[in-house]
Amino acid sequence: MTQSVVVQGEDMEPNCIGGRITGLKARAVLVDMEEGVLAEILQGPLRQLFSSTQLISDVSGSGNNWAVGHHTYGSVYREQIVDQVRRAAEHCDCLQCFFLIHSMGGGTGSGLGTFVLKLLEEEFPEVCRIVTSVYPTAEDDVITSPYNCVLAMKELTEHADCVLPVDNQSLVDIVGKIQHMSHTGKPSCVIKKNSTIISGQGGWLDQMFSDAFSKEHQLIRADPKHNLYLACALMLRGNVQLSDLRRNIDRLKPTLPFVQWNQEGWKTSLCSVPPVGHTHSLLALANNTCVQFAFGQLRERFVKLYRRKAHLHHYLAVDGMESAGFSEALSCLSDLIQDYTHLECPLMPNAPRLSIAT
Amino acid sequence: MSIVSLQVGQCGNQIGHELFNAISGDCNGPNRKTYSECSNERFFHESPTGELVARSVLVDMEPKVVAQTISKACKSGRWRYGDEAYFSQKQGSGNNWANGFCVHGPRHKEVVEELVRREIERCDRLAGIFTMMSVAGGTGSGVGTYITQCLRDMYPQSFIFNQLTWPYGAGEVIVQNYNSVLTLSHLYQLSDAILVHENDTVHKICSRLMNIKHISINDVNKVIAHQLGSVLQPAYTADSSGYYSRNPIGELLSSVVCHPEYKLLSLCNIPHMSSTSLAYSTFNWPGLLKHLRQMLIASARMEEGIDWTVSVPSAVTSGGESGTNSRQKCFNVSIANLLILRGKDVSTAQTGKLLSNICLEAILKNVNSFSAWNSPVPFNGYQKSATLVSNSQSLLKPLDNIVRKAWDMFASRAYLHQYTKFGISEEDFLDSFTALEQIISSYTHL
């Protein structure tokens, strides 16, 4: 799960508060089938949060092969992973959720990551599983990444309660924008990395809400406003009042198409404590049909390789991997795309209510 | 006679606290010794050191609100909750009725039953169990329904009276309409009567009548508590012959719930105003009663914006056949009403004349469907106040909205997997929809 860990490390670096967190250990299990990144973390600014007993690593990597991560390493490290997770879980008073962070393109994150997801379902069936999946860019240098992504997506569809897809290209774009802004040095500009929002300090609250729904601020490359919202959660932190929230929902609602059966599909939350270094932040989590296009492109890239059976033998050589796995993963993805398409034309518009004989 | 209260979920606990606060404050006024004694016996027991302890059990699946409620009550200095009369967990029900009803409820059945049993055994005589909960979330609605079911089994002969808070129409919780449908359909089989407060109407009372600028949940809860208190505080009834009634819940039910098919009660209360304007206002009984009567027949929930053009259709006044055709469209048909007057010169109020002819007696011939209680003690700071508990069509519209929205969602199978996961199947939903459509139909065809 190389990438995600690195992303997290970078994000938190500027806000590191050093000595004050010495007594705390992250409720986390870090898994990688190489040693480099984990070693970096243990020497990095967040080293105090982790101890080496929380790490599970190997030396040889998964060679960008989902099957190696999922089947080979899965069976080798199964016991060890369950053991570590159980130990972390036993430290919780009230375990609510597992939060899995991984990438889709490589071998370890996608293969072993989705194996861990399945393990969590087996071992802790009542605890919900939320997954953040980082998708590779189309120009990814890993040639087999479409295979890895599609194989992993089947597992996510079947075993995750909720998936937050993140497109690497969107992250790159946002980082570029942040760098551009900090170099041009706009006065009073505060940049919020964690909240996906870039917004000004001092009363630009409404702009922050508008940004959260604009194409430029999405974590996947898609335009939610031109697609259908199934539901949307808004999480506000810092100096924001309930009235600000209601006002902005009322203001934006006419521009946001919501599915007919969930016209009031908003979930909101307020926390008066802002993220470190900011006055306020907004996180908008939306279930929107715009994801189907990104998935459609991914399917095209998969089919291009799969039609020629390119690189298939690398996968099929792995114990436990069968060729049917590919066609099943493909049809699973197609179904998912279709499900999202169907939502745009309602199945039963105005279903008649039950009538009572009088 | 004593009432054992049950506060379930965040909303139930907050309203319960406001209710006990209003009641204990009301009893502290001047010239009301008998009244206070009666009220105290009804809602509190005395600790060995002489403190008033609420006859109430607090239940929530989160720790925060229960802890806050208990500590706020302690700080009041007038009353407190029992030391071991609460039960909370850490996880919450995630706004999911099925999680509350199928998981948390059964898991904590014994503990909660034991808490309620202890409170009940402390009463010399039990007037009934009064449960406060919301229908929108997961704990109040799901766990509350489950507990009501257990109590119905344990105490088949006791009165069980539920107060429900209905969510804002514009939405607090995405699945609020599912949770509402499941709660209402189940409670209708279990509870003796269901008293409903809609957040939307209470919110309007806060903004229009009480002139509160930034309305908090607290303000809304205070109004609900005031209205509940005005019903539950001691009063003289027709049967009580000069003493405060000994059987408040039983008499309430026998006056307004005259048929098991109809048990949705709504409340209106006048006046409501800010404490500053209260000091400069005077009221007379004929004025209050005139307003209240029009609020009832026009189904207005507050004094402002009453439609004065609605009148009692002639078919009802003449006592003849009340065919639906002859009835005015916006006339709110009621089955039974209970009027409660509190304050100065209450004996001079001519209740009978003003409230006659408004009830539907065609289907309930020979049943006295209008009752009145009174008490000369001014309630909660109001020199005169009038409350009407009515079993009428006025909840039909909001109920129909809830069912329609839930049905739209159900037709698309949205969020259903979150319920089936905990054991509520599509058939269970269909049963609930059927039950509610039946209730809607019954009230519509009055």
Q: Which of B404, B407, B438 faces A356 most closely, judged by CB atoms?
A: B438
Q: What pLDDT digit, counting tens, does each position of B379-409 carry?
A: 998 989 999 999 999 999 999 999 999 999 9
Q: Where are the domains of chain A?
A: 4-166, 170-290
Assign B339 to helix, strand or coil. Answer: strand
- Closest among B321, B324, B291, B326 to B307, alpha carbons compared: B291
Q: What pLDDT digit, counting tens, does each position of B61-116 carry?
A: 999 999 999 999 999 999 999 999 999 999 889 999 999 999 999 999 999 999 99
Those residues with Cβ within 8 angstroms of residue B122's Cβ, 6 or more apart along the chain or in another chain: B45, B55
Q: What pLDDT digit, counting tens, does each position of A280-328 carry?
A: 899 999 999 999 999 999 999 999 999 999 999 999 999 999 999 999 9
Q: Comparing A133-137, A139-143, B176-180, B347-351, which segment has the lowest mean pLDDT? A: B347-351
B437 and chain A: CB distance < 8 Å anywhere? yes
Set of chain B residues whose Cβ sits within 8 Å of the Cβ of A260: 408, 412
> Cα separation of A285 and A260, whole Å?
19
Q: What pLDDT digit, counting tens, does each position of A139-174 carry?
A: 878 899 999 999 999 999 999 999 999 999 999 998
pLDDT reading at B315 higher than 60 = no
The single residue listed with the structure tokens 């997801």 is A117
Centre a 10 Å sphere on the Cβ of residue B398 and count the other Cβ atoms it contains.
17
Q: Which of B90, B170, B434 faces A93 most closely, judged by CB atoms?
A: B90
H/E/C letters for each residue in B24-85? HHHHCCCCCHHHHHHHHHHHEEECCCCCEEECEEEEECCCHHHHHHHHHHHHHCCEECCCCC
Those residues with Cβ within 8 angstroms of residue A94's Cβ, 6 or more apart along the chain or in another chain: B89, B90, B91
Q: Comparing A84-93, A189-198, B184-193, which segment has the lowest mean pLDDT? A: A189-198
Threshold 0.90, pTM exceeds: no
Whether the Cβ atoms of residue A252 and residue A209 lie closer than 8 Å to each other: yes
Write the DSSP symbol of residue B425: -
- Closest among B275, B309, B332 to B25, alpha carbons compared: B275
Q: Does domain B2-266 have CATH number 2.40.160.40?
A: no
Q: Which residue intervals of chain B bear CATH 3.40.50.1440? A: 2-266
pLDDT reading at B150 higher than 90 = yes
Q: How confident is the model at residue A16 (pLDDT cuts 50, 70, 90)?
A: very low
Set of chain A residues whose Cβ sits within 8 Å of the Cβ of B403: 353
Set of chain A residues whose Cβ sits within 8 Å of the Cβ of B91: 94, 96
**DSSP symbols for A209-240:** HHHHTSGGG-SSSS-GGGS-EEEEEEEEEES-
Those residues with Cβ within 8 angstroms of residue A330's Cβ, 6 or more apart along the chain or in another chain: A150, A299, A302, A303, A306
What does each C-alpha distance from B80 to A38, A268, B225, B226 come to in angstroms?
54, 33, 17, 19
- What pLDDT is attached to residue B57? 97
Q: How confident is the model at residue A345 (pLDDT cuts 50, 70, 90)?
A: confident
> Cα separation of A154 and B81, whole Å?
53
Write the DSSP symbol of residue B379: B
Write the class of the CATH domain A4-166: alpha beta
Give the nearest chain B residue to A351 (CA atoms): B411
B168 and chain A: CB distance < 8 Å anywhere? no
- What pLDDT is attached to residue A179? 87
Contact B174 A351 (CB under 8 A): no
Homologous superfamily of B270-393: Tubulin/FtsZ, C-terminal domain (3.30.1330.20)
- Closest among B229, B152, B136 to B188, alpha carbons compared: B152
Quickly name the fold that domain A170-290 has: 60s Ribosomal Protein L30; Chain: A; (3.30.1330)
> Cα separation of A61 and A68, whole Å?
9
B412 and chain A: CB distance < 8 Å anywhere? yes
Give the nearest chain B residue to A356 (CA atoms): B438
Q: Which residue intervals of chain B bear CATH 3.30.1330.20? A: 270-393
